Amino acid sequence: MVAFGEVAPVAMMLGSPELLRAWVLATLAGLATDDEYHARLRDTLLVFLHTGGSYKATAERLTLHKNTVQYRIRKAEESLGRPVGENPHDVELALRASHWLGSSVLQPAREWPAVMARRERQGSGDPAAMS
């Protein structure tokens, strides 16, 4: 029996968008959420992997403080559900796919927080909530 993760890169090369998306979602887990916060984490993690896991080089390339890079990598790993070092090649490939293909391989962001915020504004009489 062959695990999906073993054949997914081949499926990508064969041009199966459905398999590619499933593999990216499985590989990146919560990091595959299509929103600005996770996009920033993905971008930082991709540079981190390109620099050989160097916080300093990543910070220099992104013009960030080293502590910011460390924080983002920690948050990216929390979203992944594992340390990036466990499977860096697959993570990098999935990050590249998400970088180039965007929403087509990512999980739509949940709208629930926006819905709740709108309901709170409606309850408070905020005119912006009426639109």
Residue 89: count of CB within 10 angstroms of its CB = 9
d(CA 52, CA 70): 14
Residue 109 per-residue DSSP state: P
What would the pLDDT profile of 51-83 be if each residue is shown by its tens digit? 999 999 999 999 999 999 999 999 999 999 999
Residue with tokens 């005119």: 127
d(CA 126, CA 49): 45
Domains of the chain: 4-130 (1.10.10)
d(CA 66, CA 73): 11
Query: Is the pTM of the predicted complex or chain greater than 0.85?
Result: no
